[in-house]
Structure 1
Amino acid sequence: MNIKPIEVEEWLNELETSATLDIAQSTIASLTTDEILALADDEQGGPGMGARAFYDELGSKKQNYGWIEGSPDFKQEVAALYQGVDGRGIDPHNVLQMNGATGANLAVLYTLVNPGDHVVVEYPTYQPLYEIPRTLGAKVDLWRIHEEDGWQPRIEELERLVTPDTKLICINNASNPTGTVLSREQLEAIAQIVRSVGAYVLSDEVYLPLEDRDSYCSIVDVYERGIATNSLSKTYSVPGIRIGWTVCDAELADRLRTCRDYSLICAGVFNDAMAVHVLRHRDQFLARNRDIMLRNRAIVQEWNAGEPRASWVPPRGVSTSFIRLDLSMDDETFCRKLLASRGVLLVPGSRFELPCGARLGYCAQEEALRCCLDELSCALRELD
């Protein structure tokens, strides 16, 4: 198979270990193991009790393959995140544990897409959502987002792209890297268009909005052939355990089981236990991360107001964002110079096919964010 490198991952693989100040990542300030377990302390009876309860339970478990497609507790916790179409809920049997959202997307695309299939992909977006279908021999049409519309796509353009032969629509909600969110009304409009042709809709939902929650829902809450992929990496600040999942209908879930036997088998006993812990205490994780998001977004808003060479559409309560930069060179050259001279790592927008800008991982630790923005302003002023 001849598949193109994922541009953003190639950039990070090469450069992230040489950065002293990293605002390229899109996770909300990652947690240590002690911090993860401490978030359950109040419910467990005081300092250290969350960790003690976790390790007491883990200590009795054999380190075998464990639950191949995720433990019953994991499946129940994930199913509880969704309402299902018409509020019917999600059958935990149709929840499958995957190797992050990356593994989840890969399994879905490998299972569904065949040579000659027609696939429509929201664009620009995370590269695997369109590159994998292309590599599998599909005809891929791009459903473009528009900066002048706040990085939103236009429903009427999707109507023109979808045909009776369309097999799959791929969206990224919220969008990486722009941080914009499709509302329930927009998802319902998408469902109405594709329902008539029987296409699936794959929605990468790894960035969960932490504000205006009532206006947000999953694709599986509005469309019978919706497929939700997600993980604990971004919104929950725990990328290290590499736990993600798929939620879909029973027929596709059975097909995905075959694919994951080739690529994953299981995620491991410890990782499953940690995932269950995080999901059981998700309210504490989301409250912590909402505070970080709101505080840091306000910091960037203030910085942006005083920075003539930068502009952005503020992200809708998620941890990834895109800043437009007024540069006298291409954005990759600028970002390499920024790293070499000031130790600050950004992802150039061209790595997302959005030149003249950068992905800003603004949900880093506050002190690091402020320092990075100061250094970025100094680098921009040198262009004057």
Structure 2
Amino acid sequence: MVKVEPFEVEQWMDRLETTPGVLNIAETCAASVSVDDLVRLCEDQDAPGPLSLSGKLTYGAIRGSETLRQRVASLFERASDAEPLPAENIIITQGAIAANFLTFYTLVGPGDHVICVYPTYQQLYSVPESLGAEVSLWKLKEEHGYVPDVSELEALAKDNTKMIVINNPNNPMGSTIPKAVLEKIVAFAKQRGIIILSDEVYSPLYHSLPAGQTAPPSVLALGYEKAVATGSMSKAFALAGIRTGWIASRDKSIIEAVAAARDYTTISVSQLDDQVASYALSEPVLRPLLGRNTALAQTNLALLSAFVEKHASVCSWVRPTAGTTVLLQFKKDGVVPVDDSSFVLDVLSKTKVLFMPASPCFGRGRDFEGFVRLGYVCETEVLVEALERLGRYLEEHLEASEGS
């Protein structure tokens, strides 16, 4: 029997996000849009609408429609001098979570060794473990801005290392792996024939990079055949409700192996979801949609930055550069890290503000004591109200002894 570890962040979300009256700043998607919103965003009002209601609802194109796969392929051309990715090198899946699972299910098993960045979405290390692989955690460090230190790979790698797993932008840190670091990871893997899986579900939401730093390309743009990229419409594109993601690789044998494994699971995605995703990635919609989400991220990050500065005596962070998530650490009187699980539940009980505890959801042992994950690219008015309530809580419960 396969041993499956509890998926902590999803279980915490499932239990708490339906709390009546909750102000949810635990959500990791850019504030969701409707189909009507997409139509309003479209810069070509003569363009065909997102849905054709006359087509028969068969299984549809098993690997995803040609239109959608071509439009996903075009996403990989950003900051790339590589040959365009053919549409046949993409498989459409039920979200990035299915894309990641299928990739592991197809490529990893007992006797294999996997290196995975940490912290990251628990799926990326718990699933290969459940499949019998040994997993080594490649720990990201604050002093490096939570960017992987490639010099550590030599000590982590083994003769049976099958895969290196990265997440760019990172969840929960909101950090970015720059192109130069990606190139070093690719060079290391290429020399040893190791597969790279890059979870790029928050790409291309690189909204707050330092001056002079450009958004990194996908790992698929760096000339290594044995690289796999996954992504979805959920995070940067604000369309989690259509449950549409993808697996992409320049190695056709990997794509064919994944397709064969997928025959035993979901077969195909919904034709309706495929159509909405295709519309969202069409030229007249994609630019304004990403513009809306980038502006929202920048506006809200400025608000969160002001909050952290105001409460710096009890709250600290490494400012994110991309994505929608960040870890904040809270300390009682600025000294003792809070018990983050109890802290989250107490804040929710007293203020109706919801975020996630990092220790159970993203840590092993005591790695992230006192840290919580916020999703700050929600509707701005939700973030404003949530931070006001959280600020009052901090003043009463964590900062209360100051000056006493």
Structure 2: distance between partners of 1:163 and 1:4: 24
Structure with bigger helix share is 1
Kept in 2, the 8 Å contact 1:163–1:197? The answer is no
Kept in 1, the 8 Å contact 2:234–2:244? The answer is yes
Kept in 2, the 8 Å contact 1:243–1:267? The answer is yes
Match of 2:314 in 1: 309
* TM-score, normalisation: structure 1: 0.94
The yes-or-no answer on 1:166 pairing with 2:161 is: yes
The 5 A counterparts of 1:32-181 are: 32-40=34-42, 42-45=43-46, 53-54=48-49, 58-83=52-77, 86-181=81-176
Q: Which moved more, 1:70-79 or 1:211-220?
A: 211-220
Listed one character per residue, the Cα deviations across residues 167-216 of structure 1 (whole Å, up to 9, x for unaligned) are 00011111110000101110100011111110100000001133358341
The yes-or-no answer on 1:338 pairing with 2:347 is: yes
Listed one character per residue, the Cα deviations across residues 28-82 of structure 1 (whole Å, up to 9, x for unaligned) are 1111221122211x3124xxxx6xx326x51231111111110000010011111
1:86 CA displacement:
5.0
Listed one character per residue, the Cα deviations across residues 117-161 of structure 1 (whole Å, up to 9, x for unaligned) are 011111111101111111111111111000222122211111221
Structure 2: distance between partners of 1:123 and 1:282: 31
Listed one character per residue, the Cα deviations across residues 297-333 of structure 1 (whole Å, up to 9, x for unaligned) are 1111111111121112121132111111114641010
Match of 2:187 in 1: 192
> Which residue, out of 286, 289, 292, partners 1:288?
292
The residue type paired with residue 234 of structure 1 is K
The residue type paired with residue 377 of structure 1 is G
> 2:388 aligns to what SS in structure 1?
helix
Structure 1: distance between partners of 2:384 and 2:269: 37
> 1:54 aligns to what SS in structure 2?
coil
The yes-or-no answer on 1:279 pairing with 2:288 is: no
> 1:120 aligns to what SS in structure 2?
strand
Structure 1: distance between partners of 2:39 and 2:15: 32
Match of 1:239 in 2: 240
> Which residue, out of 355, 363, 372, partners 2:369?
355
How many matched pairs? 376
Kept in 1, the 8 Å contact 2:206–2:215? The answer is no
> 1:102 aligns to what SS in structure 2?
helix
The residue type paired with residue 309 of structure 2 is A
Match of 1:220 in 2: 220
Match of 2:261 in 1: 259
Structure 2: distance between partners of 1:65 and 1:37: 26
Match of 2:230 in 1: 229
Structure 1: distance between partners of 2:180 and 2:215: 8
The yes-or-no answer on 1:210 pairing with 2:206 is: yes
> 1:171 aligns to what SS in structure 2?
strand
Structure 1 pair 214–149 and aligned structure 2 pair: CA distance change class (3 A): closer
- Cα RMSD of the aligned pairs, angstroms, is 1.6
The unaligned stretches of length 5 or more in structure 1 are none
Listed one character per residue, the Cα deviations across residues 328-360 of structure 1 (whole Å, up to 9, x for unaligned) are 641010100111111010001111112311111
Structure 2: distance between partners of 1:241 and 1:197: 38
Kept in 2, the 8 Å contact 1:120–1:140? The answer is yes
Match of 2:4 in 1: 3
Kept in 2, the 8 Å contact 1:162–1:194? The answer is no
Kept in 2, the 8 Å contact 1:79–1:90? The answer is yes
> 2:126 aligns to what SS in structure 1?
helix
The residue type paired with residue 358 of structure 2 is G
* TM-score, normalisation: structure 2: 0.90
Structure 1: distance between partners of 2:331 and 2:148: 24
Kept in 2, the 8 Å contact 1:294–1:317? The answer is no
Structure 1: distance between partners of 2:144 and 2:178: 14
Aligned structure 1 segments of 4 or more residues deviating by more than 6 angstroms:
none
1:93 CA displacement:
0.3
Q: Which moved more, 1:297-306 or 1:152-161?
A: 152-161
